[in-house]
Amino acid sequence: MINASANNWRGPWTLLKKELLRFWRVVFQTVAAPVITALLYLLIFSHVLESHVEVYDGVPYTAFLIPGLIMMSVLQNAFANSSSSLIQSKVMGNIVFILLTPLTHMQFFLAFLIASIVRGLVVGLGIYLVAMWFVDLSLANPWLIIAFALLGSALLGTFGIIAGIWADRFDQMAAFQNFIIMPLTFLSGVFYSIHSLPPFWQKVSLFNPFFYMIDGFRYGFFGKGDVSPIFSLAIVGGAFLVLALITLKMLKSGYKLRS
């Protein structure tokens, strides 16, 4: 006989396994494609700007660029995993089979969240392994790298759950990706330091939460950044807690899921 504790977690483990298999079965689309896209960015920007730009003293532009590309891809794919899964389930009507199971809203949340984190980290690791052929990256603080990778993918995975719950159609989901995720990631310092911007745009950049994720992640490699990594960690952690509470409240109420 399975004890009550084991039985309570069989459901969320099954849902997590389903979400992991969902993106892994199309690994060329969900993992290989983002790695190739990041590689193209690296080849183009490093070729054009390597000899013209030096953001940090002693750090080649190619080396500066790689952490930003890794984190950008981690964030975008963490968001895509949870949001695409939920909107597909809602449009196809099979979300009902998940809602009928005796899962708590916390278990539902954790299953989708962990799957998003895994996909984001797998893509990030793939880019890192490929980038090692181009430049030898230093690791000034591996714990900061891990912390920002986990918190960043968790934050975007949570935002993806919110978007997937709210959206009723694929075009609504595309609006999140095209008008929120993409602009915020590209304007977060992936390709530049905000200190190279005019003072007004530097201040505007400080209101972009994606900036803190990318800058803190990059700090873990070089020990240099535009703001304090502790401050960045506090911003990212606080944003994750806020979004997690909102998501749990939406799941508990059954907003747009049980109606």
pLDDT computed for residue 71 by the predictor: 96
Q: Please report whether residue 10 resides in a domain.
A: no
Query: Phi, psi (5° rounding) for residue 209?
Result: -65, -25
Task: Retrieve residue 99's tokens.
Answer: 């809602």
pLDDT computed for residue 54 by the predictor: 66
Sign of the Cα pseudo-torsion (172, 174, 177, 179, in order): negative
Q: Please report whether residue 9 resides in a domain.
A: no
Half-sphere exposure of 143 (CA within 13 A, CB side): 3
Q: Please report whether residue 11 resides in a domain.
A: no
Q: Please report whether residue 8 resides in a domain.
A: no
Distance CA 35, CA 30 (A): 9
pLDDT computed for residue 189 by the predictor: 87
Distance CA 201, CA 206 (A): 9
Instruction: Kindly list the averaged pLDDT for each block of 10 residues, start to end, along the chain of length 259.
Output: 53 93 94 94 78 72 91 96 94 87 91 97 96 86 96 97 94 91 89 87 92 96 93 97 97 84
Q: Please report whether residue 210 resides in a domain.
A: yes
pLDDT computed for residue 61 by the predictor: 84
Residue range 216-244, pLDDT digits in tens: 999 999 999 899 999 999 999 999 999 99
Q: Please report whether residue 223 resides in a domain.
A: yes
> Which domain range does residue 164 map to?
16-253
Number of domains present in the structure of the chain? 1
pTM (predicted TM-score): 0.92
pLDDT computed for residue 58 by the predictor: 77
Q: Please report whether residue 63 resides in a domain.
A: yes
Q: Please report whether residue 1 resides in a domain.
A: no
